[in-house]
Structure formats: structure tokens, C-alpha cells
Structure 1
Amino acid sequence: MGCTSSKKSKIYIGLTTEQIALLKEKTKFTEKEIREWHSGFLKDCPNGKLHKSQLISVYKQFYPQGNVKPFCKYVFAAVDINNDGKIDFVEYLLQIAALTQRDLNKRLAAAFDIYDISRDGEIDHKELSTLISALYDLVGEHDRKGNRAPKKRAADIIAKLDMSGDKKLNKQEFIAGCQNDSVLRRILAPTV
């Protein structure tokens, strides 16, 4: 996973029965699988916390040609549920499960949560433009002119998906639009 830590921070962080119960309830992982994920997490993050710089290192492994920092900023903010500046194991595994295990609607909902930068339940033009730019950076896309310009692409997507006419996307509009358009789903929710 790419977490690094000094020898001083190599302490074992155990899982409580409450954490295991929560993760079993919220994910499809068995207790054995949860413990295996936890063991791997602690191997990479011995202090039990994943910091933003460590997340960036992980993403660099998957996107070596891109600039991962802008996208990681938004992913980190969405995953750090308690806003303490660190991702603990529960937050980490809940996000892994949200993006990999659940049905399409739930995975799209998790993608929406990353895009909703302001956390107001809507994605406006500025947020979508910002995230499209971050996605372009992530994959090393440099052609950002004409129809590929982030502001133009954001305006086109909102115009296509906005059913209420408020020039914003709520979660239901986002999910419905991505379900019905595989190209948009690939652009807006590439892990889905």
C-alpha cells in the first residue's frame, strides 16, 4: 500500500470487536478477510494511520505518468470521514468496500461523495470542472481544448444530467446519469 513509518511508530493497533462488527455489517467482508486486510494495512502503516502523502505515493504507483496530487486531495477528504487528517483502518476498508464490493448504485454514490467537494449534497459546475481537471492530471491527459476543456465538459455533463434545472447535480441525478451512459460512467467514475 505504500505507507512508511519510522521504527518508533511500529506498534500494533488491534481491532476492537465493535470495529469488526461494524465492518462486517457495512461490507461483505468476513471477519477473516477483515483481519487479513488489517494485517496488510498495519504492515504498510504500522502506526495504524494513512497520511495524505502516503496516499499520494500509492496513487503514483498506479498512475506513474500523471500528477496524482490534485485527485488524491479530494479522495483523501472523502475518505477521512472524521476529518482528523489521517485515514484509519475502518475509514480505509469502508472506502475499499464502497468502490469495489457494492452494487453499481452504491459505487456511484461513493464516487459522487468524492466529487462533492463542498459536502453540500450537490455537484456544481466549479466542483465538476475542478474534478475533471484532477482526473486529467491523474491520467496525464494534456489535451484540454475545445470539447475536452474541463469547464466545457463540466457544463455539457451538467446540462445532460441535470433533471431539476438548477444547474447542479444531486446524488440521484449523478447516479441515474452514470447508469444510463457508459461514457459518462467511465469519465466520472472510472473505478466503477
Structure 2
Amino acid sequence: MGNSPPVGKTLSDSNLEELSRLSGFTQDQVREWHSGFLKDCPSGKLNKKKFIEVYKQFYPSGKAEKFCEYVFRTFDTDSSGNIDFGEFLIAISITAQQDPKKKLEWAFSMYDIDRNGFIEKKEMKKIMDAIYDLLGEEKKGSNNPESKVEQIFSKMDKNSDKKLSKEEFVNGCLADDHLRKLLAPSAT
């Protein structure tokens, strides 16, 4: 995902061509997205505060901040602290496309907080906590993040190394509708 060209307020012909190729959107669609992005972000950059503000509107009854941190980090592929138009467009194209495998690979990159190529239980627990907060879920009894993480790992960790590779995560989600809906709702 980190292959998008940096794009500011102007969209050069080479940027347009490259973003169209990377995203699968037509050049006209890229122009439309760019125009809308600049209306919302006149500086050509989306900072974390604004991102959280916008994202919270979709989850008015939950606490979106923690989850937004993970989503923002995944979109901010160059770790600049801002999402530029190229990063935004590529992220939108991945979340909007029909291929569940690509969506699950993107979800994996969000769950792999330390970006070491694996999801450890502590990372999954942080994300589960954030998902529970986002959805306003109770964290009591058997319906708590720790139990959910144990269930997930018992189903997905095929080689029992206490971490999930991208392949284990993607294949585990593809093989289990419940896990896919929980871990990557947009990949159904």
C-alpha cells in the first residue's frame, strides 16, 4: 500500500496516471476524489485530529478514538502524521473493491501494529479493545476482548507459534464467516 505517489493540492498528469493505475479508478474518478479531498482538506493533507473527527460521525454511540488511531496509521503509509491524497485514494480503493482477500490483507496491515509481518496476541487484544469501544460492546463475562483473542488464535494459528502470519489471518477469515465479519466487516 505504500506505493502511492505523494500528491498535494495539484494533480500532475503523471500523478493522475499512476493513481489511476494503482487504485483501479478512472482518471476522471481520481480527479473527482481529488476535488472532494481538497474541499475537506484544503491543505492537501488530512491530519489525525480531522480524521478522527470525521470517523466519529459514523459511530456516534461508540468511542472511536482508539480504533481511529489504528485505521489512521494504516492509511498513513509513509508515517508522516498526515494522510495525503495518494494514501487516501489507495486506502479507499482497497476498502471499496470487491476482492475480499485484498480487504483482508489491508485489515492485516491494520492489526500488525508493530509492522513486523505478524499479529501477536497483544496486538490483537489492543484492536479488539478498540473495536469493543467503537461498537459500545460490554467487556464482561465470556464476551470480552481477551476471550475473543483466544478464540481467534485457536482457530487461526495453524502452526501454534502464538502469532498470526498474513496467510494464517487471511485464510482464517476466508474460512470462517463469523471471524471475517468480526475482524474485517467490509470484506464480506
TM-score with structure 2 length normalisation?
A: 0.92
Distance apart, 1:169 and its partner CA: 0.7
Which ranges of 4 or more aligned residues in structure 1 deviate by more than 3 Å? none
Say if 2:169 is the partner of 1:174: yes
CA distance in 2, matches of 1:138, 1:182: 21
Q: What's 1:3 paired with?
A: none
CA distance in 1, matches of 2:34, 2:61: 30
Structure 1 residue runs of 5 or longer lacking an equivalent are 1-11
The CA deviation string for residues 20-55 of structure 1, in whole angstroms up to 9 with x for no partner, is: 122111122000000000000000000000010111
Match of 1:151 among 124, 146, 163: 146
CA distance in 2, matches of 1:58, 1:112: 23
Say if 2:171 is the partner of 1:187: no
For the aligned residue pairs, the C-alpha RMSD in angstroms reads 1.2
AA of the residue aligned to 1:125: K
CA distance in 2, matches of 1:18, 1:117: 32
CA distance in 1, matches of 2:66, 2:186: 17
The CA deviation string for residues 90-146 of structure 1, in whole angstroms up to 9 with x for no partner, is: 0001001111115111011001111110100110100001101101111111x2123
The CA deviation string for residues 51-70 of structure 1, in whole angstroms up to 9 with x for no partner, is: 10111111111000011100
Structure 2 residue runs of 5 or longer lacking an equivalent are 1-7
CA contact (8 A) 1:159 1:167 kept: no
Q: What's 1:119 paired with?
A: 115
Q: What's 1:99 paired with?
A: 95
CA distance in 2, matches of 1:173, 1:124: 12
Match of 1:17 among 9, 13, 35: 13
AA of the residue aligned to 2:74: A
Q: What's 1:7 paired with?
A: none
Say if 2:135 is the partner of 1:136: no
Q: Percent of aligned positions with the same letter in both sequences?
A: 46
How many pairs align?
180
AA of the residue aligned to 2:68: C
CA distance in 1, matches of 2:16, 2:95: 19
AA of the residue aligned to 1:152: S
CA contact (8 A) 1:67 1:139 kept: yes
SS for the counterpart of 2:25 is: coil
CA distance in 1, matches of 2:78, 2:186: 24
CA distance in 1, matches of 2:24, 2:94: 10
CA distance in 1, matches of 2:85, 2:50: 14
